[in-house]
Structure 1
Amino acid sequence: MTVATRTGSEPMTARSALRARMWFTIWGIAWAIFGTVAFILMDRPWWAFACGVLWVVATVDLFVITRHIRQGPHYQPGRDVPPYNPPEGRR
């Protein structure tokens, strides 16, 4: 049995799978568009509405993913690091 060892630098070196999430979202948008059009042609308004809502949600998610990709990598401190310098004289 192999035990995984930690290097202690995981928060600094960890990378999110944003590009994979982006491609899955694009794939989902394509299917949502197809579903919306197909259900409109089949005269199923509620299913077309559901696919349309899914289309909107996936599109918003795509914008969020694109924004995160454009921000680039940034430092994410651990739990023991405060998000700001503590005020002087307080502990």
Structure 2
Amino acid sequence: MRSGNEPVTARSPLRLRLWLGVWGLLWALGGTVAFAVLGRTGWAVACGVLALVVVTDLVLVVRHLRQGARYQPGPSVPPYEPYRPEQRPPGT
């Protein structure tokens, strides 16, 4: 039995977001180093700030991944049973 209108085959995009964040972090750090070596301080600072934003996003993504698929946001939201095909709602 489903608890709402979510698709049965829904998948979390968190792992993709994690790997895209790692890729972006590598580019931001590379840009910071490259612009610092070239003496472009403004661009180096901009890439450094972008790297900090990406690190913050990665921390949040890892936190959400560790909470698991059945994480409930608070006590006011009741937990739900996982979908079992033998427990079909009436009329399906």
User: Does the pair score TM above 0.5?
Assistant: yes
Q: Which residue matches 1:66?
A: 62
Confirm whether residue 48 of structure 1 aligns to residue 47 of structure 2.
Answer: no
Confirm whether residue 17 of structure 1 aligns to residue 13 of structure 2.
Answer: yes
Q: How many residues align?
A: 73
Higher RCO, 1 or 2 (CA under 8 Å, sep at least 6)? 2
Which 4+ stretches in 1 moved above 3 angstroms? none
The Cα of 1:16 is off from its aligned counterpart by 1.6
**Structure 2 unaligned residues grouped into runs of 5+:** 79-92
3-state secondary structure, aligned to 1:61: helix
Find 1:37's aligned residue among 30, 33, 36: 33
C-alpha RMSD of the superposition: 2.5
Q: Which residue matches 1:5?
A: none
> TM-score scaled to structure 2, two decimals?
0.68
